[in-house]
Amino acid sequence: MTRPSGTGEATPASPRTGDLETLLLPKDRQPRRATAVAALRAMSWRSMLKIKHIPSQLFDVTLFPIVMVLMFTYLFGGAIAGSTDEYLQYLLPGIMTMSVLLTTLSTGMTINIDAKQGLLDRVRTLSIWRPAPMIGYLVADAFRYTSASLVMVVVGLVLGYRPAAGVLGVLAGIGVLVGFAFAFSWVWTALGLVLDTEKAVMSVSMAVMFPLTFLSNVLVDPDTMPGWLGSVVEVSPVTQLVTSVRGLTSGVWEGAALLWTTVYGAGFLVLFGALTIRLYNRQ
Amino acid sequence: MTELAVEAVGLVKTFGRLRAVDRLDLRVPAGTVCGVLGPNGAGKTTAVKVLATLLRPDGGQASVFGHDVVREPDTVRGRIALTGQYASLDEDLTAAENLVLLGRLAGFTIADARARADDLLAAFDLADSATRQVKNYSGGMRRRLDIAASIIRTPDLLFLDEPTSGLDPRSRSQVWDIVRAVVRQGTTVLLTTQHLEEADRLASRIAVIDHGRVIAEGTPGELKSTVAAGSVTVRLRHAEQRERAREILARVLNAEVELDPDPVALSTRIGGTDDPTALAAHTLFELSGAGVPVTDFALGQPSLDEVFLALTSPDAA
């Protein structure tokens, strides 16, 4: 490449075909097929770059969680637990779970937009490990979930949240939460590939998420609900998850809830993971 | 027998009740440029997507370098590259990041992918805008970047789906230059287009498709000769003699004469003739004898446009 740079506007910028010919790699210099790990790393790198280029993506993992904690603590604290301080101990693990689960929604929309832009078409014609692009999205998402969780814990600590299990307990709780969110996100990747428009993805996922998160023990103890509702809420995956996170952060071993969380997580991962890969492979 | 880069036999792809591709047969010898020509909605893009392993055919068979697109998709993917109708890039990333990403996915190490991206950006005159997000690119820049992305590793078969639609003339001829360079390196190109000029300039063989099926196939010359007609265009020195010229042309050529928007020009379609030279000489002799000076006289083969319209018109036989 001997051509000067910066000649942009003045001279007509036409690629030189001579250059182009030297640019095409001869057969013996072609790279070997990317390994699964290399493909996954490249796709994850790309998702992280998107966060860099669209920092507003981080609003929902910074601003949104802060607003949620403040709003629910002071709105319901007095009414539900008698004091905001006491309520915060109950609420924080729950509201953290709720926020992170709501954060998973954007995955479906991102994939839907990508599918329309054509990037997915190009990636699908590459000879790479097939699940790499889909998992790549979720790696960056796991980063977002972790950030959201940490932001909320910090806000909670400022407001008077004192987790009994200490740092390790909180980290364990966040670990379970992020792990579950990763598995759960496959629901949205599948949805993002099935539906036509990002608006449709948005409305369907909201319609699923709102009842799923509110009909749980995030905000109130299921014992206070009418019997039938309490039973429904008890079996909800969100309730199991919240109970697990609450247990881990407050130093209570919730074996059954942890087991159910794992079972639900594995179920989402296997079922919707398979569905996503199937949808991604061929339309 | 030469190797076939693409072989499709009776290919069918339906979307609901629409048969987008309807028993399509196509053979593209390796090392050639095949132009797939057709109007909007003829099934060009769908056919390309099936061949590029993006869509599963509902019937028939297709193979790329002998590998079935349904049974061995990964082998096929290792040998092709696709430049779609809309730039297949990440709009939020910069040009350099896009190429590094695709380089890494092609199997380069991070360092090699960076070097490769730099080389490609320089050669495609995008080095100055390498750190701009693709969503801020013009159509021509985007298309160049898109093609650069397709030759990160040299594909054996390159699909170009309407590579110049929406480009200005200069960007279009740049894309043509790039395609020619790629072909000289031995890559087979399957190009879809609505522009007959484009197919005429780039392709050694053209398949005309309509309603998902190949309705004519051959070299540009062969296709033109299927329509036994040509045209004569005459420009006069004096506009006021046009009526006189029209009478002469109508008599000599025995055809309907059209007055062009240009007040000194008139043209006519002529039927097939064995000796166009004699026809031209006779016409000019008559015009000259009648005292009608001519500044321009053109005897044309039918344009591919005429071929195209003749083949795809609803009442075509």
Q: Does residue A2 sit at the B interface (CB-CB below 8 Å)? A: no
Q: Are A246 and A174 in contact (CB under 8 A)?
A: no
Contact call for A125 and B86, based on CB within 8 A: no
| pLDDT of B6 over the 90 cut | yes
Is A41 in CB contact (< 8 Å) with chain B? Answer: yes
Lowest mean pLDDT: which of B92-101, B240-249, B299-308?
B299-308
Integer CA distances (angstroms), B314 to A118, A267, B311, B317, in order: 33, 55, 9, 9
Considering chain A, what is the average pLDDT of its residues? 85
pLDDT tens for B39-55 read 888 889 999 999 999 89
Q: How confident is the model at residue A21 (pLDDT cuts 50, 70, 90)?
A: low
Q: What is the dihedral of CA A245, A247, A250, A251, to 10 degrees?
A: -130
Q: How confident is the model at residue A157 (pLDDT cuts 50, 70, 90)?
A: very high
Interface of A with B in 169-198 (CB under 8 A): none
Measure in Å the smallest separation between the Cα of A5 and chain B Cα atoms.
Answer: 7
B11 forms beta bridges with B24
Tell which residue, A113, A215, A136, has the closest CA to residue A182: A136
Least confident of A104-113, B42-51, B84-93: B84-93
Length, in residues, of chain B: 317
Tell me the shortest Cα–Cα distance from A89 to chain B, in angstroms.
41
Return the pLDDT at B103: 95
Residue B27: band (very low, low, confident or very high) from pLDDT cuts 50, 70, 90: very high
* Residue of chain B with shortest Cα separation from A43: B101
CA distances from B186 to A122, B36, B189 (A): 22, 19, 9
**Residue A83, pLDDT above cutoff 90:** no
Choose among B56, B101, B124: nearest Cβ to A15: B124
The CA angle A118-A41-A146, to the nearest 5 degrees, is 100
What residue in A sits closest to B157 (Cα-Cα)?
Answer: A125
- Please check whether residue A124 touches B, CB under 8 A: yes
Instruction: Report d(CA B47, CA B37) in Å as an integer.
Output: 12
Across the strands, what pairs with B14?
Answer: B19
Which segments of chain B does DSSP mark as H helices, in order? 44-51, 73-77, 95-106, 110-123, 139-150, 169-184, 196-202, 220-226, 242-253, 276-289, 304-312
CB atoms within 10 A of CB A210: 11
CB-CB neighbours of B199 under 10 Å? 25
Which residues are CB-neighbours of B9 under 8 A, at least 6 positions away? Answer: B25, B60, B61, B62
pLDDT at site B81? 93
| Cβ within 8 Å, pair A114-B90 | yes
Q: Do the chains contact at B90 and A123, CB–CB below 8 Å?
A: no
Q: Provide the Cα torsion B214, B219, B220, B222; round to 10°.
A: -90
Q: Residue A1's pLDDT band (boundaries 50, 70, 90)? A: very low
Whole-angstrom Cα distance, residue A247 to residue A174?
Answer: 12
User: Are B122 and A127 inside 8 Å of each other by CB?
Assistant: no
Residues from chain B that touch A19, judged by Cβ atoms under 8 A, are 122-123
Chain B residues closer than 8 Å to A140 by CB: none
Q: Which residue of A has its CA nearest to B94?
A: A53
Tell me the pLDDT of chain B averaged across its residues.
Answer: 86
Work out the burial of residue B126: count CB atoms within 10 Å of its CB; fewer than 13 is exposed, 13-18 middle, 19 or more buried: buried
Most confident range (mean pLDDT) of A91-95, A233-237, A261-265, B242-246 is A261-265
- A to B CB pairs, distance under 8 Å: 146
Q: Count CB atoms within 10 A of the CB of residue A171.
A: 16
Is the pLDDT at B315 greater than 70? The verdict is no
Q: pLDDT tens across B200-247, in order?
A: 889 999 999 988 999 888 888 777 776 656 778 889 898 888 888 888
Count of CB atoms within 10 A of residue B260's CB? 13
Q: Please tell me the predicted confidence (pLDDT) of residue B227.
A: 64
A48 CB near a chain B CB, below 8 Å?
no
The residue that leads in pLDDT, B161 or B228, is B161
CB contact under 8 A, B107 and A32: yes
What's the burial of B295, exposed, middle or buried (CB within 10 Å: 0-12/13-18/19+)? exposed
Q: Which domains does chain B have, with CATH numbers?
A: 4-225 (3.40.50.300), 228-301 (3.30.70.2190)
Cβ-nearest to B78 among A19, A33, A38 = A33
Q: Which of A14, A23, A54, A110 is the best substitution to test chain B (most B C-beta atoms within 10 A)? A: A23
pLDDT value at A283 more than 70: no
Residue B274 CB contacts under 8 Å (≥ 6 apart), including other chains = none
Query: Among residues A126, A281, A131, A47, which one has the least CA distance to residue B108?
Result: A126
Residue B209, amino acid = I
What DSSP assignment string belongs to A14-66? Answer: ---HHHHHHHSPPGGGPPPPPPHHHHHHHHHHHHHHHHHH-GGGGHHHHHHHH
CA distance linking residue A38 with residue A47, whole number of Å: 14
Of A188, A183, A212, give the one whose Cα is nearest residue A106: A188
Q: Which residue has the tokens 């044309």?
A: B300
Contacts of B97 in chain A (CB under 8 A): 46, 49
Which residue out of B101, B125, B144 would a mutagenesis test of the A interface target, given it has the greatest number of A Cβ atoms within 10 Å?
B125
A-chain residues near B99 (CB < 8 A)? none
Contact A31 B153 (CB under 8 A): yes
Residue B181 pLDDT more than 60? yes
The separation between the first and the last C-alpha atoms of chain B, rounded to the nearest angstrom, is 33
Q: Do B266 and B257 form a contact (C-beta atoms < 8 A)?
A: yes
Question: Which of B78, B104, B119 is closest, CB to CB, to A1?
Answer: B119
Give the three-state DSSP class for B22: strand
Q: Is B239 exposed, middle or buried (0-12, 13-18, 19+ CB in 10 A)?
A: exposed
Q: What is the mean pLDDT of residues A193-215?
A: 90
User: Given this model, what pLDDT does residue A78 score?
Assistant: 72
Task: Using the predicted structure, report yes or no on whether residue B300 has a pLDDT greater than 80.
Answer: no
How far apart, in whole angstroms, are the C-alpha atoms of residue A94 and residue A49? 30
According to DSSP, the β-strands at B257-259 and B229-236 are: unpaired
Between these two residues, B271 and B91, which has the higher pLDDT value? B91
| Angle, helix B139-150 to helix B110-123, in steps of 10 degrees | 130
pLDDT band, residue A10 (cuts 50/70/90) = very low
Antiparallel, parallel or unpaired: β B229-236 and B67-68: unpaired
Chain B nearest-CA residue for A111: B90
CA angle B175, B180, B186 (to 5 degrees): 135
> Is A34 in Cβ contact with B104 (below 8 Å)?
yes
Tokens of A68: 């949620």
Q: Which chain A positions have a beta carbon within 8 Å of B90's beta carbon?
A: 46, 50, 114, 117, 119
Burial of B20 (0-12, 13-18, 19+ CB in 10 A): buried
Highest mean pLDDT among A36-50, A55-69, B83-97, B218-232: A36-50
What residues does each domain of chain A span?
34-281
- Residue B145 confidence (pLDDT) above 50: yes
Mean pLDDT, range B116-120, rounded to an integer: 92
List, in sequence order, the alpha helices (H) in B79-204: 95-106, 110-123, 139-150, 169-184, 196-202
Q: The complex's ipTM?
A: 0.82
Chain A hits for B108, CB-CB cut-off 8 Å, are 31
At A44, the pLDDT band (50, 70, 90 cuts) reads very high
CA nearest to A104, candidates A43, A42, A186: A186
B107 to chain A: closest CA residue: A34
User: Could you tell me what percent of chain A has a pLDDT over 70?
Assistant: 92
